[in-house]
């Protein structure tokens, strides 16, 4: 992807300088050494010749070149060299002034807190010492000019120290911003991982629903075809055709669902089932042997995102999928546990909610009252699967209610679910 905001030449040079601090500092140290060489005195300290001055200046520039790579050793060496300059020379030089000001900046910008205070005090003391050490013939013996010179030197040291402190604060603030951005990125990545885990958990429930539905239909058709093979072979052929169709449909849906769990692969584009697929679901179970009576009161709203504020808010896709799965799980349980009974499925649609009631007879003895928590009663041998748990979780996601239990008086298993959406 091309860079939409190309860096300017100045930005590129700044980034290069940040990555090559030793080269940058060595360049400036060489420039300062050249400036010191231009002001080379005719005689060195105490008549030692100019080469002693150049050697000391070169040592100071070497310490300045290492000021950001090894700040504490470099500043310690520079302090010793400046003290030697003050002791040996009878007057201040440009090298002393440059080294002192750069040291004031570096101490505040690079050293840790305890050494920053020590370095600032030493620089102030060294500046006063250097001014008072100037001979009387170079500076008036009157205390006033010397005090003014000390004040000027302290002002320069304080100014460069302040610049170094600002530089350090800007660098620390930039580091905090970078760290904050990194934490936000880590949090975003963690949220993505959690969302992926939630999605995979949802897909696991979807896989359970598909398998429960498909296997119940296949087992029922296989049993019916086996019993009808001798008396009515055409019914066995119909049962085999139903098994084949359900197997192909289930294989396709499982392929779509399980493909999502594979990292690095795209998801299928097939939409999730919903209210519009209920007639096909009912017809499929009728072919499997269930006698299903379907009643409707009202009509489902148009699909939408569920955020409408009208009297009849649109039906969101999640609620539509929940309604479909409740009916699918209820019919699968009826086929599995009751054989081929007459099942009554009723829908009562109202603005922002739907009530679903599925009733089917049971073959096993039932207790006198439905189970209050919707769990299978003790007298009914229901499988250990997670069908009712999954339905309850789906309904609870929308703030609805699920009731499931067997009634001893009617000898029927009844599932009632209320699924609200929108502002209902």
Number of domains within the chain: 2
The answer as to whether 183 is a domain residue is no
The answer as to whether 313 is a domain residue is yes
One digit per residue, the tens of pLDDT, for the chain of length 424 reads 444 444 577 777 777 878 888 888 889 889 888 887 787 665 555 555 577 778 888 888 999 899 988 999 999 998 888 888 777 766 677 788 888 899 999 999 999 888 999 989 998 888 888 877 776 666 666 777 778 888 888 999 999 999 999 999 998 998 899 899 998 998 888 887 777 677 667 767 777 666 666 777 777 777 777 666 667 777 777 777 777 777 766 666 666 556 555 544 444 445 668 888 899 888 888 888 888 999 999 888 876 544 444 456 778 877 888 899 899 888 888 887 766 678 999 999 998 899 999 998 876 554 444 444 444 444 333 443 456 777 887 788 788 999 988 877 777 889 999 999 876 5
Contact 390, 374 (CB under 8 A): no
CA–CA gap between residue 390 and residue 202 (Å, rounded): 10
State the DSSP code for 382. Answer: -
The answer as to whether 298 is a domain residue is yes
Phi/psi at 292 (nearest 5 deg)?
A: -105, 125
H or E element, residue 151: helix 143-231
Alpha carbons within 13 angstroms on the beta-carbon side of residue 413 total 30
CA–CA gap between residue 365 and residue 347 (Å, rounded): 28
The answer as to whether 257 is a domain residue is no
Q: Residue 307: which CATH number?
A: 3.30.565.10
Contact 374, 405 (CB under 8 A): yes
The answer as to whether 36 is a domain residue is yes
- H helix and E strand count, the chain: 11, 7
Tokens of 273: 């089932």
pTM surpassing 0.75? Answer: no
Domain that holds residue 370: 276-424
The answer as to whether 424 is a domain residue is yes
The three-class DSSP label of residue 374 is coil
**DSSP letters of 90-109?**
SS--HHHHHHHHHHHHHHHH
Helix 317-338 vs helix 143-231: angle between axes, to the nearest 10 degrees? 40
**Cα–Cα–Cα angle for 267, 273, 278, rounded to 5 degrees:** 165
H or E element, residue 202: helix 143-231
Buried b (16+ CB within 10 A) or exposed e, 260-284: beeeeeeeeeeeebbbebbeebbeb
Contact 354, 401 (CB under 8 A): no
Last residue of a domain, one of 139, 161, 183: 139
Q: How many CB atoms lie within 10 A of CB 177?
A: 10
Tokens of 156: 């320069």
Phi/psi at 351 (nearest 5 deg)?
A: -55, 120
Phi/psi at 307 (nearest 5 deg)?
A: -105, 5
Neighbouring residues of 104: CB distance < 8 A, sequence distance ≥ 6: 119, 120, 123, 156, 157, 158, 160, 161, 164
Last residue of a domain, one of 96, 119, 139: 139
Q: What is the separation of C-alpha 114 from the centre of its chain, rounded to a whole number of angstroms? A: 38
Q: Which pLDDT does position 366 carry in this prediction?
A: 45
Last residue of a domain, one of 83, 116, 139: 139
Q: How many CB atoms lie within 10 A of CB 389?
A: 13
Neighbouring residues of 317: CB distance < 8 A, sequence distance ≥ 6: 272, 274, 303, 305
The answer as to whether 89 is a domain residue is yes
Q: Which pLDDT does position 106 carry in this prediction?
A: 92
Q: Minimal CA–CA distance to 38: which of 48, 50, 26, 56?
A: 50
Burial of 119 by CB count in 10 Å (0-12 exposed, 13-18 middle, 19+ buried)? buried
The answer as to whether 242 is a domain residue is no
């Amino acid at each position: 992807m091309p860079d939409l905001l190309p860096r300017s030449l100045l930005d590129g040079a700044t980034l290069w300088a940040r990555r090559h601090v030793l080269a940058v500092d060595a360049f400036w140290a060489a420039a300062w050494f050249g400036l010191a060489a231009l002001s080379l005195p005719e005689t060195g300290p105490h008549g030692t010749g100019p080469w002693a001055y150049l050697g000391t200046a070169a040592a100071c520039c070497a310490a300045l070149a290492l000021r950001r790579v090894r700040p504490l050793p470099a500043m310690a060496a520079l302090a010793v060299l400046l003290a030697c300059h003050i002791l040996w020379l009878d007057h201040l030089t440009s090298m002393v002034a440059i080294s002192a000001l750069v040291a004031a900046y570096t101490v505040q910008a690079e050293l840790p807190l305890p050494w920053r205070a020590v370095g600032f005090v030493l620089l102030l003391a060294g500046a006063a010492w250097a001014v008072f050490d100037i001979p009387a013939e170079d500076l008036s013996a009157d205390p006033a000019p010397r005090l003014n010179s000390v004040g000027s030197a302290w002002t320069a040291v304080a100014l460069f120290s302040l610049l170094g402190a600002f530089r350090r604060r800007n660098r620390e603030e930039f580091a905090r911003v970078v760290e904050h951005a990194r934490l936000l990125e880590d949090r975003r990545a963690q949220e993505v991982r959690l969302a992926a885990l939630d999605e995979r958990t949802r897909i696991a429930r979807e896989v359970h629903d598909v398998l429960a539905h498909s296997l119940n239909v296949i087992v029922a058709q296989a049993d019916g075809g086996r019993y009808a093979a001798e008396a009515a072979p055409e019914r066995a052929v119909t049962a085999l055709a139903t098994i084949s169709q359900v197997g192909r449909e289930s294989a396709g849906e499982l392929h779509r669902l399980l493909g999502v769990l594979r990292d690095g692969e795209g998801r299928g584009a097939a939409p999730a089932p919903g209210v519009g697929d209920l007639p096909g679901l009912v017809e499929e179970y009728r072919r499997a042997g269930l006698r299903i009576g379907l009643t409707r009161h009202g009509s489902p709203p148009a699909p939408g995102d569920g955020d409408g504020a009208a009297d009849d808010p649109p039906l969101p896709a999640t609620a539509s999928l929940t309604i479909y799965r409740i009916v699918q799980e209820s019919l699968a349980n009826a086929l599995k546990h009751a054989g081929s009974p007459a099942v009554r499925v009723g829908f009562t649609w109202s603005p922002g909610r739907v009530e679903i009631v599925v009733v089917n007879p049971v073959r096993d003895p039932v207790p006198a009252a439905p189970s209050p928590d919707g769990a299978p009663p003790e007298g009914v041998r229901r499988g250990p699967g997670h069908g009712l748990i999954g339905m309850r979780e789906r309904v609870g996601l929308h703030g609805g209610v699920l009731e499931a239990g067997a009634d001893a008086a009617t000898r029927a298993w009844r599932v009632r679910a209320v699924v609200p959406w929108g502002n209902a």
